[in-house]
Structure 1
Amino acid sequence: MALDPDAVGAESGPRRVTWQSKDCIVYALGVGAGVDELAYTTDNTKGVEQQVLPTYPVVLGIDPGIFKRFGTFDWAKLVHAEQGVELLRPLPTQGAVLVTTRIVDMFDKGKAALVVTGSEAVDEDTGEPMFRTRSAFFIGGAGGWGGDRGPSATWQAPDRVPDHTVTYPTRPEQALLYRLSGDRNPLHSDPAFARRAGFERPILHGLCTFGFTGRALLHTLAGGEAGRLRGMDARFAAPVLPGDTLHIDIWTDGAGEALFRTRKDDGTVVLTNGRCRFDADGAR
């Protein structure tokens, strides 16, 4: 089995993706939003206009057909390594977009490989860009063709106490809620499958942790207004078990920018290399 380095630049799509108000609410509940975030968890609260969490595009914004362009690899050795999302305009509570996904880079890590993809979603009717997502996948046993190893990470947590720390508990059934947004991998629901994968029990989706973190950034930096959070990027560093408590450390880094990481009670960092962009003054 071998990846195809010449596939860099290959595209898949456009794929038509639709969503409804209910889908946005189910996603919000899946990433921990509740009774104090009714703009995201209800659609008929008097005096409250429904909004869509800015991280919701991560469940919409990749055409699965792109994986066929990677070459051949062992799916059991593929791990979601990084995720980013860029909001070009606030997402409506229902809509349809056309998503095109491209292989941006393919790096040779020796005994493994890192494949980076980028997607852009445009409004089906107007062609106006709505959002972009970026994903990176670490694939064990797929390296060794002599290619570029890729850039070294430059992110470093500031040498000071975080400007903000937000703490969110996850629920024991969190993964069962989150999987309703589309990721039905039994790793997150089937105890026997999780044990075969080397975990004591089903683990939380990395993108669920990403969503919890996005909520912390939204409310801390953007006043809870979806239109003010422009984007975020992070690297998945360690698994989370449903029921774990998450602590999101945030450092403001100039006007409209922040660095962040997410850790568990024992100090294990589960999301790192976090960067966020937001409208500090409320203007879009």
Structure 2
Amino acid sequence: MPIDAAKAVAAAPRTDGISWGPTDVQLYHLGIGAGVPATDPGELRYTLESRLHVLPSFATVAGGGAPGVIRALSMPGVEVDLARVLHGGQTLTVHRPVPVRGAATATSRITAVHDKGEAALLTLRTEVADADGPLWTDDARIFVRGEGGWGGDRGPSARPAPPAGAPDRTVRRPVREDQALLYRLTGDRNPLHADPGFARSAGFDRPVLHGLCTYGMTLKAVVDTLLGGDVTRVRSYTARFASVVYPGETLRVRMWRGDGAVRVAVGAVERDDAPVLVDTVVEHT
């Protein structure tokens, strides 16, 4: 079997030095659709270096290296075809506000390999710290199609109940035709998001948007709509990627206020609100 679950979980952590600056932050924000309207004071917080704030989801690309999905495939015990790989979900916990400029150490390891029958589900945990201590922790959940069925632990199956009642706020966010081409400049060069031939080999009609781009667009919508644009209020953010988004589509982001948390559901407007992000929660102060 290409995935050796015991070897993957037992492997020593991988440690890398990462660094970033204002240009990296600005590029990420532009990659998730910030800057429209270009002169809006709320958008200038994401695009103008003299007043720059960092959306916490920038942590998923900070340092410009391989994203969690690609990084997991280079870990011991994991040898799989990239065309079989899909990003299943992401959880981010922010220990301190992400600085505009930083240098840190990122330590990654596979914490679990679950047997989902037709697929294997890997969890890659990355813990990032600088000279002042922990900055953030993120868990990338990665499906590898065709690699399940070896009789391993299926892992947790319980899911939160969907939000009750009408959403408190609903917004639409357009996805540009070139959104994936721009977002991939933050570090995720997976050809699934740019090469039509590769996308077809992976079972899609055309290239798809990065799940983490949808993830970032959604967090920005929540921060701008319900958190007063204050990026420092975010404490954690989790989402499951239920389906792909195609460049050129429109996201419908529905939000339910709670006690210290916002529940979120995201659908693709042009496909009858087909769910793309589910089980999504933003915890905040």
TM-score normalized by the length of structure 1: 0.90
Distance 1:196 1:73, change over 3 A: closer
Residue number in structure 2 paired with 1:114: 121
What is the root-mean-square deviation in Å for CA atoms of aligned residues?
1.8
1:105 to partner: Cα distance: 1.3
- 2:170 pairs with 1:165: yes
Distance (Å, rounded) in 2 between the aligned partners of 1:198 and 1:211: 25
> Equivalent residue for 2:14?
13
| Compared CA separation, residues 58 and 96, structure 1 to 2 (3 A) | same
- Could you say which residue in structure 1 is the equivalent of 2:275? 269
TM superposition shift of 1:90: 0.9
Residue aligning to 2:284: 278
Residues 3, 80 of structure 2: 8 Å contact kept: yes
Q: Where does residue 182 of structure 1 map in the other structure?
A: 187
Paired residue type of 2:84:
K
Contact 2:27 2:186 in 1 (8 A): yes
Runs of 4+ in 1 over 4 A off after TM superposition: none
Counterparts in 2 of 1:196 and 1:3: CA distance versus 1, 3 Å = closer
1:253 corresponds to which of 258, 263, 278: 258
Gaps of 5+ in 1: 280-284
Structure 2 distance, partners of 1:106, 1:199, is 26
CA shift, 1:4, in A, is 1.9
Which is helix-richer, 1 or 2?
Answer: 2
Aligned identity (percent) is 43
Contact 1:12 1:65 in 2 (8 A): no
Aligned match of 1:137: 142
Corresponding position of 1:26: 27
**What 5-or-longer segments of structure 2 have no aligned partner?**
none
Question: Could you tell me how far 1:214 is from its partner in structure 2?
Answer: 0.8
Alignment size in residue pairs = 272
TM-score, with structure 2 as normaliser: 0.90
* Counterpart mapping for 1:174-213 below 5 A: 174-213=179-218
Structure 2 residue 77 is the aligned partner of structure 1 residue 73: no
Distance in 1, matches of 2:73 and 2:235, equals 26
Structure 1 residue 54 displacement after superposition: 1.1
SS at match of 2:74: helix
Q: Which residue of 2 aligns with 1:282?
A: none
Give the distance between the partners of 1:151 and 1:64, measured in 2 at CA.
23
**Residue 171 of structure 2 aligns to a residue in which SS?**
strand
Residue identity opposite 2:103 in structure 1: A
